[in-house]
Structure 1
Amino acid sequence: MLKPNDAWRWYFDNTSNSLMLDLGDDMVFRVAVNAKHLIPDAFSSSPFSVEDASLFQRLTEPLSNLSLSGPRQAELALNAVAAYRFHKPVLPKSWFFEPQQDTIATPEWGQIVELTSQTGDRAPFIIIENAGSASLCMLAREADFELSANKKMAFCGAIKVMNDRLSQPICQTNSQKGRFALVG
């Protein structure tokens, strides 16, 4: 996986109408979040912050549990960080998803949950942000996700859903596991 450094910079590229991350060494990453879903801060250049780097690193372990290649894990992690930092608040679109009986009380950043669409498609999603009763989630599967008969979501697509649609976490970040070892 990539190692963040203090030379990385977020900027908006008007030519491609996309948020970008300059990784140095002539490498540029194009963020999957549509320009219409970006907050105003995304249109100004800013450094890849210490918080951004921390969020990126926290995803390393849970993403390693998914059947994605290393480059795809890095792509997903960078898109998740970008969405956390720059995605506008949006309304939930829960009607695409089946309610779950055993749900998460308080979803947290980086948890990987499963969502099931009304069409029966199931896929892992990363929790980007919990807004109380709903969470912004990002598709963590390379294949398109079928929301309905005529609507699909692509890899790294973000959608907000009510928390009663989220399954129990598939994978957890280090901060959600026990912090103490039993000695003895």
Structure 2
Amino acid sequence: MLKPNNSWMWYYDQKHDALMLDLGEEMIFRVSIPTKNLVPCAFTRSVFTVDDASTYQTYLEGVSSLDLPAPRKVEIALNAVAANRFHKPMMPKSWFFKDLKNAHCPSEGDVVTLYTEDGQANFLVIENNGNASLCMSAEVEAVNLNNAKQMQFCDTIKVMNDRMEAFEAHVEMPVSFALVG
């Protein structure tokens, strides 16, 4: 797994029109947040802080129970750190998701399930502002929100907490048999 260190640097690459994270050793991570959704400080070079490293660990632990390959878990965790630090505030777009009677009040780093007209999808909670949370798609396949709108892996959306259900990992338990006779 990728371990943060004090040489990592956030910077904006004008050539690629994207926020980047220099991981050292000639490795660069391209953040998935569209430029139009970045706050002004995202365009200034800055260090990957101790708080960023702690937040990264929180998100990595949150997605650990998802059925994703390790590189995808690192990808969503790094994108979530970038969103936590550099994403512009958003208004909720809860109408894409079903209202739930027994809603879940999530914490930062929780994985939640949201239900659309077409099915369900898992999202990582980046931040909870009380009534609504900024969430990131944790689905490798596109999530259909309606006939005209989809979300891709690591896309963000703000959703009212009354639409969220706690994620339950489906763990296969090994079956043991006793030989009798």
TM-score (norm 1): 0.88
Deviation of the 1:141 alpha carbon: 1.1
Structure 2: state its 5+ residue gaps. 170-181
Letter of the structure 1 residue corresponding to residue 135 of structure 2: C
Letter of the structure 1 residue corresponding to residue 160 of structure 2: M
Counterpart CA distance in 2 for 1:66 and 1:169 is 9
Deviation of the 1:74 alpha carbon: 0.4
Structure 1 partner of 2:53: 53
* Worse overlay, 62-71 or 45-54: 62-71
Question: Are 1:8 and 1:24, in contact at CA under 8 Å, matched by a contact in 2?
Answer: yes
> Which has the greater radius of gyration?
2
RMSD: 1.2
Structure 2 partner of 1:23: 23
Deviation of the 1:53 alpha carbon: 0.4
Q: Deviations over 1:135-171 (max 9, x none)?
A: 1000011000001112110000000011111112447
Deviation of the 1:132 alpha carbon: 2.0
Counterpart CA distance in 1 for 2:60 and 2:161 is 24
Letter of the structure 2 residue corresponding to residue 41 of structure 1: C
Question: Are 1:100 and 1:166, in contact at CA under 8 Å, matched by a contact in 2?
Answer: yes
- Same amino acid, percent of matched pairs: 50
Structure 1: state its 5+ residue gaps. 172-184
Find 1:144's aligned residue among 142, 145, 152. 142
Alignment of 1:165 with 2:163, yes or no, is yes
Structure 1 partner of 2:108: 109
Structure 1 partner of 2:176: none
Give the alignment of 1:1-184 within 5 angstroms. Answer: 1-105=1-105, 107-117=106-116, 119-170=117-168
Counterpart CA distance in 2 for 1:38 and 1:150 is 25
3-state DSSP of counterpart to 1:113? strand
Counterpart CA distance in 1 for 2:95 and 2:62 is 27
Structure 2 partner of 1:175: none
Letter of the structure 1 residue corresponding to residue 71 of structure 2: P
